[in-house]
Structures are given as structure tokens and as C-alpha cells.
């Protein structure tokens, strides 16, 4: 863990070499999420509710997804940039160092400018929480925490999956963005509003509904089922599956190389 922070300090030092670039990127990240927020805002200005959800409810859902995504992006960026690690041959360098592969991939890249997005998410969550009519009892707070943890697990799993696929093909990886960025886009609203099919897809194939939709129902009081609070933890199951897939890919890399 100490080493993790040392890596972090190293990457921070590197990125601070280009201070202007860092600030611009952070600002850009902030603004991008901001426009998304406005998108939601203007729509509600016109419609007042979407599929029975009010503006403040949607905002909670949105900010939790955004926050989970930006936390994941901050620390699991190494997996997101994994194809580059393979292409540049730096994976070889990782393999000749006496530390775990996962640890080294995680520390190969950290994106501190994503802090812009994170600030945006926190800010939005604060607004959403203060605007909502939810009674903040212990179980509701726990639900939000669980949603965040589950969200990080699922997004991290998607990154790991992405990295795993890049062992097999570098070309055509763009399609994976449907799942990573797509999940973020879809995750802005409770996935049920897109219809039964999409809800099923995001429950059983890419389980973002597990942390985003079902516990959300409990949070806003549409459901009384307490089990929903812990549903996001199933995201870790998905993470384990994706991790196993990554291990499989790594073994294959070791026997092909280049």
C-alpha cells in the first residue's frame, strides 16, 4: 500500500510537469459533466417527470453513477489505457518486475485531472441530497454508500474486461466503449426508463442496474425490500468474473508475446 502511494506521488509529479495541461483537462472534465447536468435540467424544465421519477430523484441517480464512474476512472485508469501498455511493450517491463501484475497495471496510470469530474459529481450529489424529499435515515445513507461501492466494482470490472479483451484484439476495441462510456450515459437515468429490454440487458449482461436501479427504488421509497440495499455487492461477482477473464488473457499473452 505504501508503494501504491509512492507510485501515486510519482505520477502526480509527472503530471504536474505540465501544470497548464492538467488544469485545462480538469476544467474540461468539470464542464463536460456540467453540460450533461444541464441536459437533465432542461428536459425536466419541460416535462417535470420522466417515467414517474422527479428531477431531484433523477439527479441522485445521475450523481451516484457519475461519482462511481469518476472514482473508478481515477484509480483504474491503468486498465483503461491497457491496450497502449501492450502496444508500447511496457507490459514486458511490468512482467520483469517482482510485483503483482494487477498492482502494476493499476499504478501504471492514474488520471488526477479526473478530479474535475469528481468534484462535479460531489457537488451534484450535494444538490440532489438537499433538494430531495427523502428522509435520510441510516438505511438510506447505507444504500447510497452501497450504490457507490457497487458502482465502482461494476465500472472497474468493465475496465478490466476491456483490458482483458485487448489481449485478443487491439483493433476494434472501440466497440467496448459502448459498455464503458455507454454504461455511464445510460446510467444517468434509472435504466427502467429505457424499457424492459434495456433493463434486462443491464441487469443480467452488464449489471449496472444492480447498483443503480434496484437499490435506487428502495432509496426513493418505491420499494420496501431491504435486500435491495445489498444488491450492489453483486457487482463484485461481476468484477471477479472479469478479473478471471483478464488472468486468462494474460496467460495467453505470455504464450504469444511479440
* Residues binding another protein (CB under 8 A): 2-3, 6-7, 10, 13-15, 17-18, 88-90, 92-93, 95-100, 172, 251, 254-258
DSSP-assigned letter for residue 173? G
CB of 250 to another protein, least distance (A): 11
Q: What size, in residues, is the chain?
A: 258
Residue 51 or 92 having the CB closest to another protein:
92
CA distances (Å), 199 to each of 27, 191, 209, in order?
A: 33, 6, 7
The C-alpha atoms of residue 258 and residue 246 are separated, in whole angstroms, by: 18
CB of 99 to another protein, least distance (A): 6
CB of 244 to another protein, least distance (A): 18
Burial degree of 197 (CB within 10 A; 0-12, 13-18, 19+) = exposed
Residue with cell 429505457: 194
Residue 13 or 48 having the CB closest to another protein:
13
The C-alpha atoms of residue 181 and residue 177 are separated, in whole angstroms, by: 5
Residue 221 or 257 having the CB closest to another protein:
257
Residue 200 or 251 having the CB closest to another protein:
251
In the chain, the N- to C-terminal Cα span, in Å, equals 32
CB of 90 to another protein, least distance (A): 7
* Helices within the chain (DSSP H only): 2-16, 19-47, 55-80, 82-87, 90-95, 101-108, 115-131, 138-165, 177-186, 196-200, 208-212, 214-219, 235-254
CB of 5 to another protein, least distance (A): 10
CB of 89 to another protein, least distance (A): 5
Q: What is the DSSP string of 47-77?
A: HSEETTEEHHHHHHHHHHHHHHHHHHHHHHH
CB 34 within 8 A of CB 120: yes
Residue 90 or 177 having the CB closest to another protein:
90
CA distances (Å), 245 to each of 74, 106, 146, 160, in order?
A: 22, 17, 25, 8
CB of 189 to another protein, least distance (A): 33
Residue 2 or 48 having the CB closest to another protein:
2
Residue 3 or 27 having the CB closest to another protein:
3
Amino acid at each position: 500500500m505504501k508503494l501504491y502511494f509512492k507510485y501515486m506521488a510519482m505520477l502526480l509529479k509527472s503530471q504536474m510537469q505540465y501544470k497548464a495541461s492538467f488544469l485545462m483537462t480538469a476544467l474540461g472534465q468539470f464542464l463536460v459533466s456540467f453540460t450533461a447536468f444541464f441536459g437533465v435540467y432542461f428536459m425536466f424544465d419541460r416535462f417535470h417527470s420522466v417515467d414517474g421519477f422527479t428531477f431531484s430523484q433523477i439527479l441522485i441517480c445521475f450523481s451516484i453513477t457519475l461519482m462511481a464512474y469518476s472514482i473508478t476512472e481515477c484509480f483504474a485508469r491503468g486498465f483503461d489505457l491497457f491496450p497502449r501498455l501492450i502496444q508500447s511493450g511496457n507490459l514486458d517491463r511490468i512482467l520483469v518486475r517482482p510485483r503483482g501484475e494487477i498492482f502494476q497495471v493499476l499504478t501504471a496510470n492514474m488520471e488526477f485531472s479526473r478530479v474535475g469530474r469528481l468534484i462535479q459529481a460531489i457537488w451534484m450529489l450535494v444538490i440532489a441530497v438537499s433538494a430531495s424529499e427523502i428522509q435520510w435515515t441510516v438505511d438510506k445513507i447505507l444504500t447510497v454508500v452501497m450504490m457507490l461501492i457497487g458502482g465502482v466494482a461494476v465500472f472497474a470490472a468493465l475496465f478490466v474486461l476491456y483490458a482483458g479483451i485487448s489481449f485478443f484484439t487491439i483493433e476494434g476495441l472501440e466497440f467496448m466503449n459502448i459498455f464503458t462510456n455507454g454504461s455511464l450515459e445510460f446510467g444517468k437515468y434509472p435504466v427502467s426508463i429505457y424499457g424492459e429490454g434495456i433493463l434486462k440487458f443491464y441487469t443480467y449482461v452488464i449489471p449496472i442496474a444492480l447498483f443503480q436501479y434496484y437499490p435506487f427504488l428502495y432509496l426513493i421509497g418505491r420499494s420496501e425490500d431491504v435486500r435491495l440495499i445489498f444488491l450492489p455487492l453483486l457487482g463484485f461477482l461481476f468484477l471477479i468474473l472479469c478479473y478471471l477473464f483478464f488472468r486468462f488473457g494474460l496467460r495467453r499473452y505470455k504464450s504469444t508475446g511479440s
